[in-house]
Amino acid sequence: MTVISKSKNRAAAIGEAAAAGARPLTGNEAIARGAWEAGVRVASGYPGTPSTEILETLARYPVDDLQAQWSTNEKVALDVAIGASFAGVRAMASMKHVGLNVAADALMSLTYIGVNGGLVIVVCDDPGIHSSQNEQDTRLFCRLAMVPCLEPSDAQEALEFTRAAFALSEQFDTPVVIRSTTRLSHTRSVVALGSRVVPPSRGFREDTKKNVMIPAHARARHPRLIEREQNLAAFFEQNPLNRWEKGDAAIGVITAGTPYAYVKEILPGASVLKLALSYPLPMELIRDFALSVGRVFVVEELEPAIETEIRAAGIAAAGKAYFPRTGEFSPEVVRAAFERAGVLEPQPKPAPWPVQSTPRPPVLCPGCPHTMSYMAIRALNARVAGDIGCYTLATIEPLRSIDTCVSMGSSIANAVGMSKAGTEDKPIIATIGDSTFLHAGIPPLIDAVYNNANITVIILDNHITAMTGGQDHAGTGRTLRGEGTTRIDFEQMVRACGVKWVRRVDSYDVGQMHQSFREAVAFKGVSVVISDRPCVLDPVRIRGPVFAVALDACTACQSCMNLGCPALGWDDTTVEGRHKVKINAELCIGCTLCAQSCPSDCIRPVSPAA
């Protein structure tokens, strides 16, 4: 362990840090700060781990400085930013990697149009799939869209690159992508801050040949893209954002983004070319670097985006021959690769400690209203198309009642397809959360009605975007800044889509839930149940009277344990070798679901007097 010597300059160092305005920030907070410093006027996005905190941070800056908003989905968010750019101000859209798939249609035209006010798209990748459905590499998207892709490696660069991205966008008439990863977005380190400079608005620039993408105009724009690509690459041949760190000439490492930190950790002496931009590449700089060293390695997470380009340019380099194409990098992953390449001696690995831990998969919270929806669904023996949200956890024990989950809003159309295939005797159900329904669930619901599919759609309305930590949406009646606004009424919305059988049920009313689900499934055609209860965590943490098990009456049937509620556990007493149930009073929020499920009526509220 490091011994920290007493620095005589400690007090002075603190003073300097304060004067220079240095603050510990996460990568996401630094990106928001960089956008604010660059004078962004309009920012929009849709929540998605690990990108969510970018807009939440921006919303804490004064309302006079910028408009920040949650949009219905990522495509809408990008279109809002494009509109602001048309209108002549700097604009930003933020999203997670799979969000860019939703926004891709707008992006592919935007790249032809270019920008008026600078436009930056922040995309946060999730290598290792901590909280996503895949680990696609945004850098390949940038190549497809021919949009420059900046890759900061720490929070300080996140701020600086974001600030630089707006100027770059305006200079080269292009949207610019800032590509973050989970590790960068959620790592906090000290960042030196700058001040905000707002460029004057450029106003709307009337230029239909640039702003209206009809075939004649688009054909004229395409060659401009290729020219832009070459200009950008040339610009970055001599740019201080790229860093050539001269070291041991035997080994040269070309890297960008978070992997840079792992390279410095594992091979502190190597020569390093740290690229700021992973597309387009400054190939002459790379060629000079490669010629100055012995073996050249490309260290990049996920796809060989840089390596493929370099090798296509005829430069000898090794990358994915040693480094994995899947998963998140870490110091040990990078070390193992350099060991395979013969650069480092293999280190002996100690045998694991002979200890046994406990698996701890994520679970639905005590009192989660989704719990009862899936208990009732399970009783129907149905085929269930799931969707994306906390409720995807109903896939695993003990609820185990979701059969498929594809992408945001997929559930309803997946159910339509299953019903049209005609192979299932079971009732076909789609389950979708409120935020996900607004994001991408309305067009498939219209499709189901239009094509007269025999399905039941259950909208799990918990009045919040819960999975990402409790963000507002059009169905909550509040904006990102917490102001009141028009609240979308799901029942009216569903009826307007042409659904004839609609019912709203309280998710805590066990009898009504079972009855309504049975009736909905019996209806021939599209039926919709809105299972309605607010999330127990957001926007307010809900706590009701705590319940307890009357042990003398408990028969240890453990029916209540089917709920999978984290507040329910085993008591020490048993009946015929089975444990009676104990309720953890610290965790119980008084939802009553276990009490309603108990066949021997032994779960009762703890009276305040007792």
Partner 1 sequence: MADTETSPPTNVLIVGVGGQGVIMVSKVLAALCQLHGLQVKQSEVHGMAKRGGSVFSHVRFGAQVWSPIIPHGETDILVALEWSEGLRWLDAMRRDSGTFIADTQQIVPPIAFRDRRPGARSGYAPQSPAAVLEMVGTGFALDATRVAAGLGNTRIANTVLLGALSTALPFPVEGWISVLRDFVPPHTVAVNLKAFQAGRDWVESGSRPAEEAARPAGARVAVAARGHRLEITEAWCKGCDICVKMCPERCLRLDERGLAELANPAACTGCRVCEWLCPDFAVRVLDGLGQPVA
Site for partner 1 in 148-207 (CB under 8 A): 154, 182-184, 186-190
Site for partner 1 in 245-284 (CB under 8 A): 258, 261-262, 264-265, 268
Report in angstroms the alpha-carbon separations of 338 from 38, 84, 290, 392. Answer: 39, 47, 18, 38
Per CB under 8 A, the list member of 213, 344, 510, 561 interacting with partner 1 is 561
Q: Provide the residue count of the chain.
A: 610
Total chain residues near partner 1 (CB under 8 A): 72
Q: How far is the CB of 169 from partner 1 (least distance, A)?
A: 28
Q: Which two tokens stand for residue 99?
A: 């969000």
Using the rule CB under 8 A, is 394 a contact of partner 1? no
577: tokens are: 């070798």
As measured in angstroms, the least distance from the Cβ of 281 to partner 1 is: 24
Residue 296: strand, helix, or coil: strand
Please state, in angstroms and rounded to a whole number, the distance separating the CA atoms of residues 593 and 610.
22
* Alpha carbon distance 225, 172 (integer Å): 10
Give the separation between CA 77 and CA 69, rounded to whole angstroms.
8
443 binds partner 1 (CB under 8 A): no
Radius of gyration of the chain (CA): 28
6-14, 269-277, 292-300, 314-322 -> range binding partner 1 (CB under 8 A): 6-14
With CB under 8 A as the contact rule, the residue among 359, 482, 511, 599 that binds partner 1 is 359
Output 126 or 509, the one with its CB closest to partner 1. 126
DSSP-based three-state secondary structure for 165:
helix
Decide if residue 555 touches partner 1 (CB under 8 A): no
As measured in angstroms, the least distance from the Cβ of 558 to partner 1 is: 5
Per the listing, tokens 């201080």 go with 240
Q: Closer CB to partner 1, residue 126 or residue 229?
A: 126
Applying the rule CB under 8 A, the residues between 570 and 589 that interact with partner 1 are: 570, 576-579, 586
Asked whether position 603 contacts partner 1 by CB under 8 A, the answer is no
The residue type at 25 = L
Q: How far apart are CA 22 and CA 19, in angstroms?
A: 8
Using CB under 8 A as the binding rule, whether residue 117 contacts partner 1 is answered as no
Least Å from the CB of residue 332 to partner 1 = 4
Residue 375 interacts with partner 1 (CB under 8 A): yes or no: no
Binding span for partner 1 by CB under 8 A among 101-109, 208-216, 331-339, 486-494: 331-339
The four Cα atoms 506, 512, 515, 521 give a dihedral, to 10 degrees, of -10
Helix (H, G, I), strand (E, B) or coil at 560: helix
When asked if residue 353 is in the footprint of partner 1 (CB under 8 A), the reply is yes
85 binds partner 1 (CB under 8 A): no
Q: Which is nearer to partner 1, 265 or 489 (CB)?
A: 265
- The nearest distance, CB 299 to partner 1, in angstroms, is 13
Of 14-53, binders to partner 1 (CB under 8 A) are: 14, 17, 24, 49-50
Distance CA 592, CA 594 (A): 6
Please identify, using beta-carbon distances, which residue of 400 and 487 lies nearer to partner 1. Answer: 400
| Cβ at position 606, least distance to partner 1 in Å | 17
Provide DSSP, 322-363.
TS-SSS---HHHHHHHHHHTTSSPPPP-PPPPS---------
Selected from 356, 423, 486, 607, the binder of partner 1 by CB under 8 A is: 356
Query: Among residues 350 and 484, whose Cβ is nearest to partner 1?
Result: 350
Whole-number minimum distance, CB 229 to partner 1, in Å? 32
Q: Which of 83-102 are b and which e, b meaning 16 or more Cβ less than 10 Å from the residue's Cβ?
A: ebbbbbbbbbbbbbbbbbbb
Residue 297 binds to partner 1 (criterion: CB under 8 A): no
Residue 599 is a binding residue for partner 1 (CB under 8 A): no
Considering only residues 491 to 550 of the shown chain, the ones binding partner 1 according to CB under 8 A are 537
- Min separation Cβ 341 and partner 1, Å: 18
Stretch that binds partner 1, among 227-235, 344-352, 413-421, 453-461 (CB under 8 A): 344-352
**Token pair for residue 274?**
């740290």
For 34, 93, 150, 503, the CA distances from 124, given in Å and listed in that order, are 16, 11, 12, 38
Which among 116-124, 238-246, 360-368, 588-596 is the span making contact with partner 1, rule CB under 8 A?
Answer: 360-368
Cα–Cα distance, 507 to 373 (Å, whole number):
7
Q: How far is the CB of 578 from partner 1 (least distance, A)?
A: 5
Residues 281 and 310 sit within 8 Å (Cβ to Cβ): yes
**3-class state of residue 291 by DSSP:** helix
